[in-house]
Chain A
Amino acid sequence: MMEIGLNHYLVLSTILFSIGLVGVMRRKNLLMLFFATEILLNAVNIAFAAISHFYGDLTGQMFAFFVIAIAASEVAVGLGLLIVWHKRHGNIDLEHMSTMRG
Chain B
Amino acid sequence: MLAPVNVSLESLNIMTLAPMLIPIIGALLILIIDISKANLDKTLYVMISLLFLLLDLGTIVDSAGIFTASGIVMGVFDMMLIDGLAILAQFIIVGASLLFIPLALTHSRFHEFSYPEFFALFLFMISGFQFMVATDNLILIFVGLETASLALYTLIAMHNRDKSFEAAVKYFTMGALAAGFFSFGSMVFYALTGSVEINQIAAVLAANNYADIGYVLIGTAFLLGSIGFKVSLVPFHTWTPDVYEGSSAALAGYMSIVPKIAAFIIAMRIFEFLIHSGVVWLEVILYVGVVVTMTASNMWALVQSDVKRMLAYSSISHAGFVMAAILIGTTQANSALFLYWILFSFTNLGAFSMLWISRQKHLPQHQRTDHSYDKFAGMIKTSPIASVIMALFMLSLAGLPPFALFWGKLYMISSAVTGGYTVLALIMALNSAIAAYYYLKLIVYMFMKEPVVGNDGHVYVINATLALKSIIGFAAVGTIFAIIAVNPLLEVITTFVYNSGY
Contacts and interface: CB of A to CB of B under 8 A. Distances in A.
Contact between chain A and chain B defined by CB under 8 Å: yes
Contacts of B139: 59, 62-63, 66
Interface residues of B, number: 39
Nearest to B171: A81
B177 A59 contact: no
Given A84-B157, A88-B162, A100-B163, A48 B187 contact: yes
Given A44-B187, A102-B303, A59 B194 contact: yes
A51 B180 contact: no
Contact of A10 (B142, B146, B170, B191): B191
A72 B187 CA distance: 19
B190 A51 contact: yes
Interface in B258-307: 303-304
B187 A51 contact: yes
Contacts of B190: 48, 51, 59-60, 63
B176 A73 contact: no
A6 to B, nearest CB: 7
Nearest to B146: A70
Nearest to B176: A37
Interface residues of A, number: 45
A80 to B, nearest CB: 7
B213 interface: no
In terms of DSSP, what is the predominant structure of the interface of chain B?
helix
Interface in A8-23: 10, 13, 17, 20
Contacts, number: 120
Nearest to A13: B187
Given A37-B173, A51-B190, A80 B183 contact: no
A46 to B, nearest CB: 9
Given A37-B176, A41-B180, A70-B179, A80 B187 contact: no
Interface stretch (B238-246, B249-257, B486-494): B238-246
A84 B176 contact: no
B180 A84 contact: no
Contacts of A77: 150, 153-154, 172
Contacts of A99: 162-163, 166
Interface in B122-177: 138-139, 142-143, 146, 150, 153-154, 157, 162-163, 165-170, 172-173, 176-177
B440 to A, nearest CB: 20
11 contacts: A6-B191, A33-B173, A34-B176, A63-B138, A63-B190, A70-B143, A81-B153, A81-B172, A84-B165, A99-B163, A100-B245
